A and B are shown apart, each in its own frame.
Chain A
Amino acid sequence: GAVVSQHPSWVICKSGTSVKIECRSLDFQATTMFWYRQFPKQSLMLMATSNEGSKATYEQGVEKDKFLINHASLTLSTLTVTSAHPEDSSFYICSAPSALAGGYEQYFGPGTRLTVT
Chain B
Amino acid sequence: AQSVTQLGSHVSVSEGALVLLRCNYSSSVPPYLFWYVQYPNQGLQLLLKYTTGATLVKGINGFEAEFKKSETSFHLTKPSAHMSDAAEYFCAVSVSQAGTALIFGKGTTLSVSS
Contact = CB atoms under 8 A, between A and B. Distances in A.
Interface of A: 6, 31-32, 34, 41-44, 46, 49, 91, 93, 95, 97, 102-106, 108-111, 113
Contact of A108 (B44, B105, B109): B44
A105 B101 CA distance: 9
Interface string B22-45: 000000000010101000011110
Contacts of A113: 41
B74 interface: no
Interface residues of B, number: 25
Contacts, number: 55
Nearest to A107: B46
Interface of B: 32, 34, 36, 41-44, 46, 49, 51, 88, 90, 94, 96, 98-107, 109
Contact of A49 (B42, B101, B104): B101
Top 6 A-B pairs ranked by shortest CB distance? A103-B98, A110-B43, A108-B44, A111-B43, A103-B99, A34-B101
